[in-house]
Chains A and B, each alone.
Chain A
Amino acid sequence: MNPALRLWNLRVWGPYMRATARWPVLRSIVPFLPLLALWWAVANAEIFPRAFFPGPSEVVSSFFTLMYKGILPEYLADSVTRLVVGAAAGVALGIPLGLLVGLSQRAHTALWPILLFFQAIGDIAWLPILLIWFGFGLTTMTFVIVYTVLFPIVLNTVLGVRSIPLDLHRAARSLGASRARVVWEVVLPGAMPNIITGLRNGLGYGWRALIAAEIIVGTSGIGFLMFDARRAGSVVEIMLGMIVLGVLWYIVDAWVLAPIERATGQRWGMVQRQ
């Protein structure tokens, strides 16, 4: 083996692997350090004009400025509240609707094509007409988010419900379970992995829709922050907004949604624990 590679393995890679084996959190932090260094180097070399491509130090200082002024926490709270309210409403509507369409063949024939079509129109295409109906305001944004979160949940719930073997229904029924109890103890748990997957996809689309809505409707929120900065030509604040969004969503996705998905998947024997 070539000596440089050997030294690399011995001094850098080996210790890194040992450290990450001990503290798994490092695995999702350390890889960003070279990226940060690269960003810093490119910005400092002034390959692009500094105003178009600021370095990490400017972004960090603008983070503290906006934190100090209280703008960032307020906008972040606005965005997250909108998403949470929208997601909760989407779940509350989506799961019952999914159960109905999944369980009743008649409802499936009547509603499935309509669901597919409205899902295809996509949240953002609703914005213009929503602006006419509700104006530039909270109702418009809430509608867009609920709409976005709803469809992946409904479609996945239907898939989940329909993938449960009919034998299980019959077995539960013949053991004396009422219809309601079959739904509660057979159908809902059986569809759970799909419902969680639907929720994860729905939230993934939902927060993108939120950003778009905040850019276009624009009164507050991270999307508004970014587009307001764009109007003022401040790349620093745009980058800050992107990083805040990325970090926030990374944490939600990697540390909340993915483990829930994995846990239900394992619990219901969809995947094996390694």
Chain B
Amino acid sequence: MRRLASAAVFLLPLIVLVLLWAIVVRAFDVNPRLFPDVMSVAGAGLESLLDGTLVQHVAASMWRVFVGTVLALIVAIPMGVAMGVSPGVSSFFTPIFRFFSVLAGIAWIPIATLWFGYGFGAIVFVIFNAVFFVVAYNTLLGVASIPMALRHAAASLGAGPWQMLTQVLLPGALPNIVTGVRTGLGFAWRGLIAAEMIATNVGLGYMLFVARDFYRTEVIVFGMIVIGTLWLLIDRLLLVPLERATMERWGMVRAA
């Protein structure tokens, strides 16, 4: 019951905003080529839902994000751990990964489209490198920040390399890894939308950009709402709980 009430409190301002939108558009008689009214956006949404194009675009976008992210995590976490283990090596690699993680994402679009051609490969590459460099960099920092005393303690209690990895290094770096995943996915999501506008013929970004050519603002606004809702769902249902769980579990913040 309390959850329901707090959800209502959360949704109320958004509902008010939609009402305001409906009233303003009606009252000022806004040209639909500039800004659509609520009903035509709902209509565009319903239409794309019924003819299956929405599902197609969303599925294409999510599949790209999924493939790129999973590939990136598989490579980045072991690599970050390996580099972070030795203090000398980690301080050597830190600037390189920092350089590439500030560059990660959108800046790779031009070269990705040239290397892989317009389409799936280029977009997955952009997502891959947005997640890869940020996660690898954060893993590296996380492992390097584990106090040496803890590792010596574990070693002197007889931990082998495998135990050291699974019981000291990975858990110790986990809060950083999760933060890296959240930041990296944030960059990847924006990179996805930008790359889809430039380099493909299916996906949410493409849906928006094609609608622009025909001045179909109702499709654009509907697409923006879908993008916002999807990201809010990914972030609030997946990333924030994950981050909070690891942070609390490792005593970085007190459980409220």
User: Residues of A with Cβ closer than 8 Å to B?
Assistant: 13, 17, 20, 27-29, 31-32, 35, 52, 109-114, 116-118, 120-129, 131-133, 204-205, 208-209, 211-212, 215-216, 223, 226-227, 229-230, 233, 235, 238-239, 241-242, 245-247, 249-250, 253-254
In the complex, the answer to whether B95 meets A32 with C-beta atoms within 8 Å is yes
State how many residues of chain B have any CB contact under 8 Å with chain A. 59
Q: Name the residue on B nearest A242 (C-beta).
A: B107
CB of B79 closer than 8 Å to a CB of A: no
In the complex, the answer to whether B114 meets A238 with C-beta atoms within 8 Å is yes
In the complex, the answer to whether A245 meets B103 with C-beta atoms within 8 Å is yes
Q: Name the residue on B nearest A9 (C-beta).
A: B88
In the complex, the answer to whether A111 meets B13 with C-beta atoms within 8 Å is yes
| Interface window among B65-73, B151-159, B226-234, B244-252 | B226-234
In the complex, the answer to whether A249 meets B103 with C-beta atoms within 8 Å is yes
In the complex, the answer to whether A120 meets B231 with C-beta atoms within 8 Å is yes
* A245: B residues at CB distance < 8 A: 103, 107
* Shortest Cβ gap from A149 to chain B (Å): 14
In the complex, the answer to whether B103 meets A246 with C-beta atoms within 8 Å is yes
Q: Name the residue on A nearest B193 (C-beta).
A: A124
* Shortest Cβ gap from B125 to chain A (Å): 14
* Shortest Cβ gap from B136 to chain A (Å): 14
In the complex, the answer to whether A126 meets B224 with C-beta atoms within 8 Å is yes
* A32: B residues at CB distance < 8 A: 95-96, 99
| Interface window among B43-51, B52-60, B168-176, B208-216 | B208-216
Q: Name the residue on A nearest B235 (C-beta).
A: A120
Q: Name the residue on A nearest B103 (C-beta).
A: A246
Partner of A114, one of B17, B93, B208, B211: B17
The majority secondary structure among interface residues of chain B is: helix
In the complex, the answer to whether A128 meets B106 with C-beta atoms within 8 Å is no
Partner of B110, one of A29, A132, A226, A254: A226
* B223: A residues at CB distance < 8 A: 125
User: Residues of B with Cβ closer than 8 Å to A?
Assistant: 9-14, 16-17, 33-34, 88, 91-96, 98-100, 102-103, 105-111, 113-115, 186-187, 189-191, 193-194, 197-198, 205, 208-209, 211-212, 215, 217, 220-221, 223-225, 227-229, 231-232, 235
* B220: A residues at CB distance < 8 A: 128-129, 132
Known: A129-B221, A205-B186. A31 touches B92 (CB 8 A): yes
A79 to B186, CA, bound (A): 22
In the complex, the answer to whether B106 meets A211 with C-beta atoms within 8 Å is yes
In the complex, the answer to whether A246 meets B110 with C-beta atoms within 8 Å is no
Partner of B95, one of A13, A31, A122: A31
* A29: B residues at CB distance < 8 A: 95
* Shortest Cβ gap from B204 to chain A (Å): 8
In the complex, the answer to whether A133 meets B34 with C-beta atoms within 8 Å is yes
Partner of B208, one of A28, A128, A133, A209: A128
* B232: A residues at CB distance < 8 A: 116-117, 120
In the complex, the answer to whether B190 meets A216 with C-beta atoms within 8 Å is no
In the complex, the answer to whether A127 meets B224 with C-beta atoms within 8 Å is no
A235 to B220, CA, bound (A): 33
Q: Name the residue on A nearest B187 (C-beta).
A: A208
* A122: B residues at CB distance < 8 A: 189-190, 193, 227-228, 231
In the complex, the answer to whether B212 meets A121 with C-beta atoms within 8 Å is no
Partner of B100, one of A13, A132, A246: A246
In the complex, the answer to whether A117 meets B14 with C-beta atoms within 8 Å is yes
